Structure 1
Amino acid sequence: MTRTFDHPQYGRTDVPAADLVLSWLNRAGVPAHPATGPSEPAEWLRWYGSAYLDPRLGAVGLAVGAAADSPHRQRQAQAAVLAWQRTLGTRRVLLPALPGRDLPAQRAFGGHSPDPASAARAFLDDGDSVLVLGAPTPALAALTAPGGQHVVYAGRTRMPEESVLRELDGDRLSFVMSPQLVAEEAAQLLHAARRRFPHLRGQHPDHWPYRNSDLVNSLRLALADADELWVLADAAPRHPLLDAALAHSDASVRDLADPTAVEEHWLTPRLRTIALVTADLCDPADRRRGELLRLLSGTGPLGVVTREVSTRITTDVHLPDHT
């Protein structure tokens, strides 16, 4: 398997998809290995696939070499080139902006959001009971209330049972929001809580989970424009915010543990736009993401687009002077 070859029309031609074809051959039981030099050894035959000129990468193509004394291997090499030649086409990859390098840490907040567990303990110290909105973090789950006070947990989408709410003093009740909540979910929960407890107090609106909301909406925006969602998955479970974005989407999802495990029949002419994330929504500089983009660039001109939804909070508010 060659990573570069001399094309009769374009000259020196790179093969970014070499590892895709190599892995595909190995999975099919065909012994294949990368060439050690800049081109296949002179005694090998080469089968050329289609090549094109990329304005950024130069000449890009597909080529597999086979030993001159093995007609069987030559047929396998030719079959590999023909199979992957059918994948060539122009595509886009949509990258939802994730927390990390894509999305500055304080973009969605006016300042540092206080730790909800610390805020809850402060409310408890003031003599209030605490209503936790959203799935609790370990620190929130570990909260304990003094005698006569309570710590009550709401889910992501519903309030606690009425029998639990009856135990609360609505005049001495404060809320905190789990950092795993989405702002839209928080607003719905808070609306229900305030109908039941009009004097409910709690976190300042600047400290709502807007970043989570931005992330989910970035994911949904990419999903709405994509033919498929590819999830770079490993042993880690999917991030709950990824599940939240998928809850209202009919997008086809492919889990991909290894970037080189892409099958050629996935890359059909109908697949023109791929949304790409990691399962745990980790650092967008994840090595696997960059590797997959490099490999896909060898199957046709590739556009990589980052989609971002960004909430900005104004903290320096000057009320108009009506005097």
Structure 2
Amino acid sequence: MNRTRLTEYFAAPANDDAVVVASAFNHPRRGYVWCPASPLLAAWLTSRGVPAVVQPLDVCLHQSSKQIPDGGVLFATSYQDAAHGTIGIAALAQGALRDQAEQAIRTWTACLRTRRLLVPLVNTACGSPLAPLPPQGRSERTPLLASKHRIPSVCGSVVAARDCLVDFKQRGDTVLLVGGGGIAAGSTSAALPDEPRVLAVPDVKAAISINVDDAAAAAFVVNPCSPTEEVAHILAVLRTRFPLLRGQHPDQWCYRTTDSRSAVRTAVAQSDLALVVENDQTDWLPEGILSVRSLGDLDPTAIASAATIALVGAQRGSNEPGVGVNDLIESLAGLGPTSVVYQRVVSNISTDFLKTADPSRGRACLPPSASAESPSQRRAKS
């Protein structure tokens, strides 16, 4: 890239209303030049009080000398990309806006380099809330949301939690719903304040203060999508306070949120710069991660020195308000050869590990069999 990079000036017709940031233009020698970073340049100018618009330039450009010409000027930097042809950044202005256009090109030209973008794949909300139980006086034809009446659109973790909650309530236990639930607070499941004998325990503070009528008849169910590391801390407190606490088997815990957070932390640890978009739940994010609500928030100084950037947030386009990860990918990919690396963390729960254990270990002593079978034959039959 550096060997093919050119920063040039071209005489071109312009107006005094705004800086025109080129989304594409025709270079006199290099031909068509694509400018993916044009929304970024326009947002940066706008954030500094400079009127700017993005549009393709279909004008005849005249190569200038080293001296900047009078009138309208297109300030442009372009480079050859092996995979995508000629890429560039360009801004057209005249009059009082020429200095701002030139400064924008010089500032962002300093950001051109080869870089990696690490995108942790964050799970989205499953959209299947742990809804209140049907009324106690329900018709026998109205089934509970249990595994034998599984609804295909409902998350399996929600079904498992519902099964456990129903079982514990039928035994007469007070059920503690552990964890805040959801990829984001309230997105997939919520506490059940209207349910008799179901108490929400969203955090350690609640675990310390909560009381039950009968400590020997307390049970817990994990709120689906609650971070398992937080669930473990809450249960450590509850088991100390209620030694006879029974609860949902860990085979049924949901790791969606835990995996998402692990993917984010891993990407941030590998990066020189980490940016988060569209995320109101920032209490668990690693230190040093920067919040981005628009392309104009990007700092060219930070971008220039970052060979690896982590992008955290929703993978969506710019057709919605705000900015998404895809918007950042496209803009940053216009600032040099770019590799986008998608990373995912997946927890797989094993429930059949005892089937592979050596059956001869820990076997109780049995009286000798009348048959003359060898130990190997008996193991084969078992």
Give the TM-score range, shorter chain.
Answer: 0.7 to 0.9
Match of 1:238 in 2: 280
Contact 1:2-1:39 at 8 Å conserved across structures: no
RMSD over aligned Cα atoms: 3.2
Letter in 2 for 1:88: L
Letter in 1 for 2:111: T
CA 92–125 in structure 1, closer or farther in 2 if over 3 Å, else same: same
CA 161–265 in structure 1, closer or farther in 2 if over 3 Å, else same: closer
How does the TM-score come out when normalised to structure 2? 0.65
Match of 2:204 in 1: 157
Match of 1:211 in 2: 256
Task: State the distance in 1 between where 2:106 and 2:333 align.
Answer: 18
Task: State the distance in 1 between where 2:264 and 2:110 align.
Answer: 30
Q: Does 1:307 align with 2:343?
A: yes
Task: State the distance in 1 between where 2:58 and 2:103 align.
Answer: 23
Task: State the distance in 2 between where 1:260 and 1:162 align.
Answer: 45
User: Residues 239-258 of structure 1: matches in 2 within 5 Å?
Assistant: 239=281, 242-244=282-284, 246=285, 249-250=286-287, 252-258=288-294
User: Residues 10-29 of structure 1: matches in 2 within 5 Å?
Assistant: 10-29=30-49
Task: State the distance in 1 between where 2:335 and 2:193 align.
Answer: 51
Cα displacement (A) at 1:311: 0.6
Contact 2:120-2:264 at 8 Å conserved across structures: yes
Which of 224, 249, 271 matches 1:226?
A: 271
Which of 159, 179, 201 matches 1:134?
A: 179
Whose RCO is larger (CA < 8 A, sep 6+)?
A: 1
Secondary structure of 1:135's aligned partner: coil
CA 261–312 in structure 1, closer or farther in 2 if over 3 Å, else same: same
Match of 1:54 in 2: 81
Following TM superposition, where does structure 1 have runs of at least 4 consecutive aligned residues deviating by more than 6 angstroms? 40-43
Cα displacement (A) at 1:134: 1.8
Task: State the distance in 1 between where 2:210 and 2:238 align.
Answer: 14
Task: State the distance in 1 between where 2:53 and 2:345 align.
Answer: 43
Which of 90, 100, 117 matches 1:63?
A: 90
Larger C-alpha radius of gyration, 1 or 2?
A: 2
Cα displacement (A) at 1:178: 1.7
Letter in 1 for 2:298: V
Contact 1:232-1:257 at 8 Å conserved across structures: yes
Secondary structure of 2:235's aligned partner: helix
CA 261–160 in structure 1, closer or farther in 2 if over 3 Å, else same: closer
Match of 2:367 in 1: none
Structure 2: stretches of 5+ with no match in the other structure = 1-20, 63-70, 126-154, 319-323, 361-381
CA 19–315 in structure 1, closer or farther in 2 if over 3 Å, else same: same
Secondary structure of 1:22's aligned partner: helix
Letter in 1 for 2:119: L
Match of 1:190 in 2: 235
Match of 2:298 in 1: 262
Percent identity reads: 29
Residues 46-69 of structure 1: per-residue CA shift (max 9 Å, x gap): 2232x22223322111222234xx
Task: State the distance in 1 between where 2:341 and 2:210 align.
Answer: 50
Cα displacement (A) at 1:207: 1.6
Contact 1:63-1:81 at 8 Å conserved across structures: yes
Contact 1:156-1:181 at 8 Å conserved across structures: no
Match of 2:141 in 1: none
CA 259–23 in structure 1, closer or farther in 2 if over 3 Å, else same: closer
Q: Does 1:113 align with 2:157?
A: yes
Aligned length: 290
User: Residues 87-98 of structure 1: matches in 2 within 5 Å?
Assistant: 87-98=111-122
Task: State the distance in 1 between where 2:296 and 2:245 align.
Answer: 53
Cα displacement (A) at 1:10: 3.7
Secondary structure of 2:156's aligned partner: coil
Secondary structure of 1:47's aligned partner: strand
Task: State the distance in 2 between where 1:263 and 1:132 align.
Answer: 43
How does the TM-score come out when normalised to structure 1? 0.76
Q: Does 1:169 align with 2:197?
A: no
Contact 1:121-1:143 at 8 Å conserved across structures: no
Match of 1:81 in 2: 105
Task: State the distance in 1 between where 2:218 and 2:329 align.
Answer: 51
